[in-house]
Structure 1
């Protein structure tokens, strides 16, 4: 059932084919929307300038111009008015071009009425006319970016604009910068906020399970398929599917993903019919997809389908002034997570050290550094020494000691931090063996808390 629509909604319909105009007018009038129709670009521009509209549906090809011209005309004069473009069947290039020009969404001919009604519902939510919709989530529960630097202000502004569109968004940025948080904000601030946000790490799914994970399967499709099982697309129907690390998707699956995006339908494994889905695609990768395309590891047609709008998330080193606010929020979260009586805080020297650090791992590294510091600190005040900041090379030597020479027999070229880490690894291993891998007893033997031992095990890859 479609969301209730107020009777004062006003739509402009533009198409030179009378039967299409009639279909659109009948469909919208049954939804309680007043319509005005035009059969040319010039007439549509004149009508729009003379009246106020809440949404517009326009054909891509008009007798005296292109629908994209009308999209730009409306965006210049009334950027809050959603415009949807009607494209020819299978015209993926036209659809992408309209989205790049600022169209809210598109629908292909022959027009599917159910798809059209869903599109109109979302457009009216953007226009603020869906009075029956639940209120927007409060700032306490919705995702939000921390920081007041210009980079963050620009990012928030761009997210606000992108949330009003249904165009696929490709988020770029280094690992740990918060690409999934940005994707969640795009979802939460748009008309799909009440739908599901379904994140998936494309590199974490085995190749053999890709198709069933994305498209689901029906009962009896294969041995062990005891019931119909929806895939990621079905779970995200009406919402957003976030494809993280999209560069890791195998080529064979890229073909099927491209078809699902273009046709807006999926075929579960074992099914004979396709099922329509209404999903917005947001993807991300820390690798450069254009380079992957040039190397033949990523399909060019899928790249252009996903990369309709590109959004870059800045690294933490480019917004060092945001570190105090980020650290405060992370420490507050650690207080709740660790059930501490007092909120941990950084000394002035420790804060200066963080602001001067390069953070190759970005916000994720900041989170790890602070969690380690809180675990090791003797009081609620975290001093600089507890941060244990060191170079990426030193961390690599700790995590992969076999690649950087033997643990025993250090030479002068081995840094002190690596030596200390290797000694710590050896002491922990000896304690675990002596206690038959009872972690509680091993912690007592080492003279540290169980929590501190658990943290060290995870950091050293010994868990």
Structure 2
């Protein structure tokens, strides 16, 4: 028995356009129903089971946004694409935020229409694997509320073709989340191309992104495919997009809107089909106000927003991630997995982590290196110069800080388990780290704050393994 052809609903009041789209889709083996009014579309959706829907934004008795709202209530899993007039990007973006799968600009390019419907009809197969074995649980480790909410949002975002913008502090895992958006989407069989915009020299930016033809400039000895074209059929991740020069922002905007690029030295444009995912730790809104980032590109990439939580706000996820890194690193090094002592766990839970997940991995890797036993204890973790959040201390408050630390860290009438010398050394190290953090690791200023000579400070830093140029 032959497989049944997919059925698509076309909603537009232009009869000629509907006929043209119907003919194009018929050649693709797709059956169609046509509705010219909002009321007709609702009736069709009530009476029939569709695989996708294409709707114009302007209808005689309403608009496409009203149809989207109705469909979100009655058939939320049905992919909907909107048809929009050229240049009417604000309404198209509003439709994407309202739940549209994607949009097509008029006049309709048959090739773009075909690519869009292929993506719409390529629905991900519902997973039957246990929840903990799914991609979103394997790649996003943690059980905190922010991470649980992020998983739910990611699954919704992955169903659409809308641009995604990811914000978060450095080291929170923006590329991991971008890759997860790609792998959960119906583009997962296509390439995932990740680019750090801050790592490409400005004079090579256009050639790297858009490609070039042989002889287009000195040194162009052969044709080169650009990274955007490499993402054809998949997803393009632009990390630190705020680093793009304004001249490149103009070209990127056209590539995102028109899905066409022109390599350097080429005579004609090339069609490209990609989903853009971008990220930055900078305030793009502020950069727009300063004239350093184009407002039109800002609105075009800010359709679906994801904000990643800093590690310090994820509670016990810190320990889950630490265990994950221990297992991963020990497996890579072909050594027996080590266990975190209770003191080590308490220590990790009380750090500030300005470098977030990336910093935690570095701490664990260093601790594994230093540990000669089957466990990771406090001294293995304290050897790293951790940047922690701590109250500012003046050198006149040192004696008070020691008293406070003693009361805080050791219950009354109880001697320190590690002995007096290690206990006092921990307090001294805590104060040194506090002074260094306060002065952004300017050793001269730290020595002045602590009321000691630079040589004396240097001696103490060497003593605790803190005399390093690592930042």
> After TM superposition, is the score higher than 0.5?
yes
Deviation at 1:48, TM superposition (A): 0.8
Would the alpha carbon gap of residues 234 and 419 (structure 1) be closer, same or farther in structure 2, given more than 3 Å must change? farther
Instruction: Give the Å deviation of 1:84.
Output: 0.5
Structure-1 separation of matches of 2:91 and 2:200: 33
Between the two proteins, the alignment pairs up a number of residues equal to 417
Determine which of 60, 63, 68 is the counterpart of 1:66: 63
Match of 2:96 in 1: 99
Which sections of structure 2, spanning at least 5 residues, go unmatched?
127-132, 390-432
Q: Structure 2 vs 1, CA of residues 460 and 336 (structure 1 numbering), >3 Å: closer, same or farther? A: farther
Q: 1:24 to 1:141 in 2, by over 3 A?
A: same
Matched, 1:405 2:444: yes
Q: Secondary structure at the match of 1:405?
A: helix
> Would you say the 8 A contact 1:425–1:460 is kept in 2?
no
Q: Which residue of 2 aligns with 1:256?
A: 251
- 1:336-375 matched pairs, under 5 angstroms: 336-340=331-335, 342-375=336-369
Label 1:218 to 1:395 Cα distance change in 2 as closer, same or farther (>3 A): farther
Tell me the CA shift for residue 418 of structure 1: 6.8
1:147 aligns with 2:137: no
Q: CA deviation at 1:402?
A: 8.7
Structure-1 residue corresponding to 2:374 = 380
Against the structure 1 CA distance between its residues 68 and 407, is the aligned structure 2 distance closer, same or farther, given a 3 Å change threshold? closer
Secondary structure of 2:305's counterpart equals strand
Deviations 1:419-443 (A, max 9, x none): 554568899xxxxxxxxxxxxxxxx
Per mean C-alpha deviation after superposition, the further-off stretch among 190-199 and 249-258 is: 249-258
Alignment of structure 1 residues 325-336 onto 2, 5 Å = 325-336=320-331
CA distance in 2, matches of 1:54, 1:413: 74
Contact 1:13–1:35, Cα closer than 8 Å, also in 2: yes
Structure 1 residues 212 and 418: CA distance shift in structure 2, 3 A: farther
CA-based RMSD: 2.9
Change beyond 3 A, Cα 1:423–1:10: same
Q: In the alignment, is the contact (CA less than 8 A) between 1:187 and 1:240 conserved in 2?
A: yes
Partner of 1:134 in structure 2?
A: none
**Structure 1 unaligned runs (5+)?**
130-137, 428-458
Q: Which residue of 1 aligns with 2:216?
A: 221
The equivalent of 2:47 in structure 1 is 50
Contact 1:143/1:185 (CA < 8 Å) preserved in 2? no
1:33 pairs with 2:30: yes
Match of 2:291?
296
Q: Separation in 1 of the partners of 2:469 and 2:349?
A: 26
Deviations 1:190-243 (A, max 9, x none): 010001111111111111111111100011111221211011110001111101
Normalised by the length of structure 2, the TM-score is 0.82
Q: Tell me, yes or no, if the aligned pair for 2:435 and 2:449 is still in contact at 8 Å.
A: no
Aligned-pair distance for 1:380? 2.5
- Classify 1:314/1:419 alpha carbon distance in 2 versus 1 (closer, same or farther; 3 Å): farther
TM-score by length of 1: 0.83
Instruction: Tell me which residue corresponds to 2:115.
Output: 118
Higher-Rg member (1/2): 2
1:396: Cα distance to partner? Answer: 10
Matched residues in 1 for 2:244 and 2:326: separation?
Answer: 35
